[in-house]
Amino acid sequence: MKAPLHSNLIIMCFVLIFIPVLITQAQDNEPITPTDMWQMDRVGTPNVSPGGEKAAFTVTSYDIDENRGTTNIYLLHLDGSEPFQFTRHRASDSSPIWSPDSKKLAFISRRNEDTAQLYVIPVNGGEARQVTDLPVSVSSPQWFPDGKRIAFVASVFPEYDGDFDRLEEMLKEERESKVTAKVTEDRIYRHWDRWLIDGKYPRLFSVDIETGEVVDLMPGTSMYFSMMGPAQYDISPDGNEIAASINSTEPPYERLDYDVYLLKTDGSGEMENITEHNPANDSNPRYSPDGRTILYGKQRSTHFYADKVRLVRYDRRSGERTVLTEDIDLSFQQWQWSEDSRTIYFQAEDRAKKSLFSIPANGGEVTEIYRGGTNDGVQVASNNRLVFSNQSFTHPSEIVKINRNGEGFKQLTFFNQDILDTIAFGEVKDVTYQGADGADVQMYIIYPPDFNPSEKWPLVHMIHGGPHGIFGDFFHFRWNAQLFAAPGYVVAMSNFHGSTSFGQEFAESIHGAHSDKPYRDIMKATDFMLERGYIDESRMAATGGSYGGYMVSWIAGHTDRFAALVNHAGVYNIMGQFASDVTAHRVYAYNGAPWDGLERMQEWNPAIHAENFETPMLVIHGELDYRVPVTQGLEVYGVYKGIGADARLVYYPDENHWILTPQNSIFWYDELYGWLDRYLGTGASE
């Protein structure tokens, strides 16, 4: 039925009045600042209730003045109602998990201001009750199917022999010891920003939520779970067994090999390694709801950490293994079963995004459910829905849902909308150019908010780390592309040879020649940008972190076409990377080692080309960086100063490979902006 004429007139008048208001609001928006970023809430991935109708998730908010973050738990009804804050405590609450009857939540918190312990709280009201009271912190909780016990992980001295009073005495002795020496004969003896030689190892435990009785499920073991992220394990539907990904190698840990172990949950310590035949990593085991199958990820290469992850079905009755995805050129992540055990949902990096897919449980064709931005933490919900988190270059992570057929995408949370509504973001373009050897190379271009293609603009390359990773379509809280563009820079983010999400062959293509094709890709990306006609050739910079910093040092020794360089936590002398936390794969990556193939290895060493250094370089490094030891940054800075070239050092005594605290991060961006402005200026040429 047509609306009455007067109604149409009213609507037209409203539009005429409202459109200028919208234009004025858009014009009033300002480019994003580092402070804006740290005022944004960081929304975690959802945990859907067993009934599939609600989700629990965490939200972390930062107080810049206090220089700290606080994490609380929120609940969300998936029918679309507003999320509400469920816990409020100055001590952060994390890892929320639903009881099997959906009536309780368990979570981890430091409410006793000492160690992180396990708490349980009724969903419909009531106080949180502390369930564990151990002298060590606990993590990675999971409910047993009967709702009477919860599994968790804690690190203990193996010789504590199940006596937590004895463990507490041992910890006290450790704290009070005046000896500060660290002694080891292991090859892997520290990781990321922590030492591994204190004698403690993680184990799985269970706790009775009524009596508080704790049972060690791995007595007599000294083994490592995943070094990065939470422990990967799952409890069988009958509660009698746990499948866990655990390192199987012995000291001195020449390398790590994560295998899938099956262990009894009665405390007997009985364990069976079901992937001993595979010398590479096996990860993230998940029981099918019908209990017949375990699904896990398998890599084949022992020297390539980004080897694609294949899905394997393990039949619990027969012991038969079936690789479902050998011929699929995707690396599978975060898989989940459908309720009927017939479909598997997963995420995978694909062409510089992380998309959502499904595959039949018996193998077959992969179906893309959703492509857009970066998607994580998929969970199966009721009414044929999937729930997950979604983010992009222009918005941080929020909770979304979609029908399993790919229709009905809907955002459910809007924690940062008020801030986002005040920000003028730059346009993002996804382009492809011809890189090394004529291969197609994908690149994102981020323009400053006031970009005009008829003017000349400075160019800033952002070079990602890894090298086997990507600069994907996500809201990076450390190297934020919109923050790089905001002062008035055109930002180029090339996913050069060696990047993931473009197939196994592309990722492996740089092995043995670590800087060859990526360098040529970045130079061709520079040519591509200059051909657009809006780049000022005299105002270009290259910036990078980790491997990206390695490439910045390589650039310094091979071209003078850039006016400035920024090297964050970058590898300068690859000889020094044998002081890194993980070294086993480096011989393969560098095509040599100091004891075998030194000349081949040195061919790709930026330090060998120091005589050519002249482009001004900002060097940033953290003392607690064990992945790229701080000597790498100090050495390139010292060489620059010795040559007499312009260089500036920013050193953080309390940060690791990443800059993680608000005030240090804001200072980091101030240093970045100041350095780029000194040599490039900002904005279009006058």
Q: What is the DSSP string of 293-340?
A: EEEEEE---SS-TTPPPEEEEEETTT--EEES-TT--S-EEEEEE-TT
What does pTM read for this prediction?
0.94
The closest alpha carbon to 387, from 366, 371, 407, 410, belongs to 410
What is the signed CA dihedral for 238, 377, 102, 207, rounded to 10 degrees?
60
pLDDT score at 14: 32
- Token digits of residue 244: 């866990």
Q: What is the largest CA-CA distance in the chain?
A: 88
What is the spatial distance between Cα 515 and Cα 363, in angstroms, rounded to a whole number? 38
What is the spatial distance between Cα 535 and Cα 86, in angstroms, rounded to a whole number? 50
Q: Is the dihedral of CA 425, 426, 429, 435 positive or negative?
A: negative
DSSP structure class, residue 82: P
Rounded to a whole number of angstroms, the distance between the first and last alpha carbons of the chain is: 57
* Domain boundaries along the sequence of the chain: 235-323, 429-680
CA distances from 384 to 332, 430, 520, 558 (A): 22, 32, 47, 55
**8 Å CB contact between 221 and 158:** yes
pLDDT score at 22: 36
Could you please state the CATH topology (level 3) that the domain comprising 429-680 is classified under: Rossmann fold (3.40.50)
pLDDT score at 114: 86
What is the signed CA dihedral for 613, 617, 623, 628, rounded to 10 degrees?
-60
What is the spatial distance between Cα 76 and Cα 411, in angstroms, rounded to a whole number? 12
**8 Å CB contact between 428 and 442:** no
What is the spatial distance between Cα 657 and Cα 677, in angstroms, rounded to a whole number? 25
Question: Tens digit of pLDDT for each residue in 166-217?
Answer: 999 999 999 999 999 999 999 999 999 999 999 999 999 999 999 999 999 9
**Looking at this protein, which amino acid is placed at residue 391?**
Q
**8 Å CB contact between 62 and 664:** no
Instruction: Catalogue the E-assigned strands of 78-116.
Output: 84-85, 93-98, 104-109
The values of phi and psi at residue 180, to 5°, are -105, -5
pLDDT score at 289: 97
Question: Tens digit of pLDDT for each residue in 512-549?
Answer: 999 999 999 999 999 999 999 999 999 999 999 999 99
The values of phi and psi at residue 524, to 5°, are -70, -30
CA distances from 405 to 358, 367, 380, 400, 620 (A): 10, 9, 13, 15, 47
**8 Å CB contact between 367 and 402:** no
The values of phi and psi at residue 354, to 5°, are -115, 110
Place of tokens 């809201």: 475
Angle at 600 between CA 595 and CA 601, to 5 degrees: 65
pLDDT score at 426: 98
CA distances from 191 to 104, 194, 302, 627 (A): 36, 5, 18, 7
pLDDT score at 460: 98
Q: Which of 69-85 are b and which e, b meaning 16 or more Cβ less than 10 Å from the residue's Cβ?
A: bbbbbbbbebeeeebee
pLDDT score at 253: 95
**315 - beta bridge partners?**
293
C-beta atoms surrounding 365 within 10 Å? 8
DSSP structure class, residue 241: E
> Of all helices (H) and strands (E), which one includes residue 231?
none
pLDDT score at 7: 34
Per the document, the length of the chain is 686
What is the spatial distance between Cα 119 and Cα 115, in angstroms, rounded to a whole number? 12
For residue 428, how far is the Cα from the chain centroid? Answer: 22
- Token digits of residue 604: 């790709």
The closest alpha carbon to 494, from 542, 543, 540, 443, belongs to 443
For residue 475, how far is the Cα from the chain centroid? Answer: 11
Question: Tens digit of pLDDT for each residue in 17-65?
Answer: 333 333 334 568 999 999 999 999 999 999 999 999 999 999 999 999 9
Mean per-residue pLDDT pooled into runs of 10, the chain (686 residues): 34 34 58 98 98 96 97 94 92 96 97 92 93 97 98 97 96 96 96 95 98 97 94 98 98 96 96 97 98 98 95 97 96 97 97 98 97 97 96 98 97 97 98 98 98 98 97 96 98 98 97 96 98 98 98 98 98 96 91 94 96 98 98 98 98 98 98 98 90
DSSP structure class, residue 612: G
What is the spatial distance between Cα 660 and Cα 128, in angstroms, rounded to a whole number? 30
3-state helix, strand, coil in the chain (%, to 5): 20, 35, 45
**8 Å CB contact between 544 and 551:** yes
| Helix and strand element counts for the chain (H, E) | 12, 39
The closest alpha carbon to 289, from 358, 234, 337, 356, belongs to 337
3-state secondary structure of 104: strand
Strands 457-463 and 535-545: parallel
